[in-house]
Amino acid sequence: MKTWKHTIRNLAGAVALTLLHGTSIAADPLKMAWVYVGPVGDGGWTYAHDLGRKAAMAKLGDKIQTTIVESVPEGADAERVIRDLATKGNRIVFTTSFGYMEPTLKAAKSFPKAEFYHATGFKSDKNVTIYNSRMYEPAYLAGIIAGHVSKKGVLGFVASFPIPEVVRNINAYTMGARSVNPKITTKVVWVNTWYDPGKERQAAEALIGQGADVLLQNTDSSAVLQTAQDKGVNAFGWDSDMTAYAPKAHLASAIEVWGGYYTKVAEAALAGKPLKTTVWGGMKDGMNDLVSISAALSPEAKKAVAEKMTAIKSGKMMVFTGPIKGQDGSIKLAAGKSLTDKEIDSVNYYVEGVEGQLPK
């Protein structure tokens, strides 16, 4: 669905500019577009991207002109939307979901003069650059909190699609918790969607029914957190700060911060030197964070999280550092070593403590 509001506003702006300046010198603004997988009003993933877009607009003013297209299904439809945006003169197009990877690559071939930026993917091209945020870092810290808070020693994870991006968050969450309590286990339910409050809620109910008492989700709505509050257990916010949805159940929110990156991309393009390097930023780059940590946590929990957060932010600590054991207890990574980015980006196994079988 196209948001006409933005288009109209942009059009109105363009008309006003033309009227004011006539045919004068005013440099054309850089046209940038965003393709969103959900509605901006999801309060989560897409909302966070849109906050980033707004931050770039606030910084650069009328040097840029932005368009968004919301709720674009992953697949063939996406390619059509991306082509359409490029045809309309957008020099920079951000495609903000994993499933846009192939459509972005295909569309980009036809528009060599435009730059495409694909979030969370792993394939780049001459004019396709990938960017991602190491959400496993705040997920690990959330795990530490969960390890302190869980009374039953059972955590729940509502997962979207079995891709490395999600699997490593499950692993990081579990590793964080087990660094506090080595007996903790994590149950995982896959909902096969990024956004469906009904399914997310049912998944959370199923997990809570099986004894999980601290939940984390890799889906885009706040339904899991709300369900946790209704059932008297705890959970986290994901992608955006979700404190206000469930103040009692909320332990902390792992958030994405895209504004800095979007501003940088725009500035580089304005300067005539488009950004072409893969960016995989973490907490130390300010691309994500763990915020609104509950005041109700025990002093030990607060201290443990603060210490690890400082270590991660300063770059002293890597989350995926050995020893890492697989589900059967076999060594996946020896002590003292760390997974390379390539390994993190292709992880296809659960670590020790995660229950169930990873869907292939």
Binding site for other proteins (CB under 8 A): 1, 5, 38-43, 47, 71, 156, 162, 187-192, 195-199, 201-203, 205-210, 212, 221-223, 226, 229-230, 240, 244-247, 355-357, 359
Q: What are the structure tokens assigned to 344, written together? A: 């993190």
Report the residue number, 124 or 253, with the smaller CB distance to other proteins: 253
Closest CA to 320 of 301, 335, 306: 335
Within 10 angstroms of residue 15's Cβ, the number of other Cβ atoms is 10
Cα 149 from Cα 240, distance rounded (Å): 22
Q: How far is the CB of 106 from other proteins (least distance, A)?
A: 24
Q: How far is the CB of 195 from other proteins (least distance, A)?
A: 7
CB distance 320 to 332 below 8 Å: no
Q: What are the structure tokens assigned to 36, written together? A: 């969103």
Q: How far is the CB of 46 from other proteins (least distance, A)?
A: 9
Residue with tokens 């400082």: 310
Report the residue number, 17 or 206, with the smaller CB distance to other proteins: 206
Q: How far is the CB of 276 from other proteins (least distance, A)?
A: 34
Q: How far is the CB of 246 from other proteins (least distance, A)?
A: 6
Residue with tokens 């270590």: 311
Report the residue number, 136 or 161, with the smaller CB distance to other proteins: 161
Q: How far is the CB of 165 from other proteins (least distance, A)?
A: 16
> Burial code of 97-135, b = ≥16 C-beta within 10 A, e = fewer?
bbbbbbbbbbbbeebeebbbbbbbbbebeebbbbbbbbb
Cα 57 from Cα 77, distance rounded (Å): 27
Going 171 to 177 to 183 to 187, the CA torsion angle's sign is negative
Cα 146 from Cα 215, distance rounded (Å): 8
Report the residue number, 40 or 108, with the smaller CB distance to other proteins: 40
Report the residue number, 94 or 245, with the smaller CB distance to other proteins: 245
Q: Which amino acid is at 138?
A: P
Helices (H), the chain: 4-21, 45-60, 76-87, 101-110, 136-149, 164-178, 197-209, 223-230, 259-270, 299-313, 341-344
Helix/strand/coil for 110: helix
Report the residue number, 92 or 347, with the smaller CB distance to other proteins: 347
Report the residue number, 70 or 115, with the smaller CB distance to other proteins: 70
Report the residue number, 59 or 231, with the smaller CB distance to other proteins: 231
Q: How far is the CB of 217 from other proteins (least distance, A)?
A: 13
Q: How far is the CB of 187 from other proteins (least distance, A)?
A: 6
Helix/strand/coil for 36: coil
Report the residue number, 86 or 188, with the smaller CB distance to other proteins: 188
Closest CA to 129 of 99, 95, 80: 95
Q: How far is the CB of 111 from other proteins (least distance, A)?
A: 29
Cα 82 from Cα 96, distance rounded (Å): 11
